[in-house]
Amino acid sequence: MQTDLRGRDFISDMDFSKEEIETVLDVALTLKRERALGIGHPLLRDKALAMLFFFTSTRTRSSFEAGMAQLGGHAAFIDHETTQISHGDTGKEIGEIFGRYYDGIAIRQCDWDIGNGYINSVADASRAPVLNMQCDIYHPFQILADLMTIVEKVGDPRGKTINVSWAYASSYQKPISVPQSLVLQMTRFGMNVRLTHPPEYKLMPDIVQQAKDNVGQHGGSFEILDDFDAGFKGADILYPKSWGALLTTDDDEESARIGSQYTDWITDSRRMALANKNALYMHCLPADRNIEVTDEVIDGPQSIVYDEAENRMHAQKAVMALTMR
């Protein structure tokens, strides 16, 4: 167990070692048990977290706010459009100033080719730890919650097959950060990771290479498929969700045209039957219902999306407790 995480940033999934991630999971499970038993844990009493949002949120904002309150601290919601950030405050200035006001800075900035660079510019100038609530490259807290949920449901994840698949959605060109963080983190825990997507929906080459390198170090396997049904066959965990064709085009109309070729990439009961008998369905939410996934699947007995959503709060509390002490 590695316990010295005080003051550490958590921006990339790889910022914490595998052993440090295991520490986070251990603390998260402890905090979850204490919450269930009504045992208070004001570990961050009188501490304050700045939550800076450039991108709308439901679970992220709510889970961080509730988590900080349960830890005895305060979370301040900051919308970039209602501050001087929209009129000229730079990342360096936010890091310098918020790092003096607050004990931690959490940022959600998902704009393509901007978000991660901005978060790192804040971190470079901040004396307080900076936490990535999602950017254009990574979504580390979502994947911590996913890993925690998998451990709760199936135990040791080593040797289990997870299908990280693209799925059709009509709402908007969603970030690629969830699938990228999934293939990075799950390959560190010995899982057999499948990445399934149409040819236009590739992930960043360096992320894919890191996932392959993780297999060499930690075991398991990593393969890339382009057949939606094939990704389901024999899998233990299904994680099909939409993401944008951002490495193919930055034009929304062109992206919509490309996506319209794959409207049949929807998770339904027939696809679920291709997987192992007790396979689990996961999604970071929100899902485009009956477009990305049918109601019978997302609301069915194999779906664990609400346990997954709850674990966002517990995993985030663990990281905040360890880094903001």
Output DSSP code: residue 289. B
Burial class from Cβ neighbours inside 10 Å (0-12, 13-18, 19+) for residue 2 reads: middle
Taking the domains of the chain in order of start, what are their residue ranges? 13-139+312-323, 142-308
pLDDT tens string 33-74: 999 999 999 999 999 999 999 998 999 999 999 999 999 999
Q: Name the percent of the chain lying above pLDDT 90.
A: 93
Fold exhibited by the domain 142-308: Rossmann fold (3.40.50)
- CB distance 181 to 13 below 8 Å: yes
Please name the CATH architecture into which domain 13-139+312-323 falls. 3-Layer(aba) Sandwich (3.40)
Whether the per-residue pLDDT at 114 is higher than 90: the answer is yes
- Same topology for domains 13-139+312-323 and 142-308, yes or no? yes
**Tokens at residue 46, please?**
């009188």
Question: What value does the mean pLDDT take over residues 83-92?
Answer: 91
pTM: 0.97
Query: How sure is the predictor about 77, in pLDDT bands with cuts at 50, 70 and 90?
Result: very high
Whether the per-residue pLDDT at 222 is higher than 90: the answer is yes
- pLDDT at res. 196: 98
pLDDT tens string 98-112: 999 999 999 999 999
Question: What value does the mean pLDDT take over residues 195-218?
Answer: 98
Q: Name the percent of the chain lying above pLDDT 70.
A: 100
Can you list the alpha helix ranges (DSSP code H) found in the chain? 18-37, 59-70, 91-101, 115-125, 140-154, 177-186, 205-218, 228-232, 252-259, 269-274, 295-298, 305-323
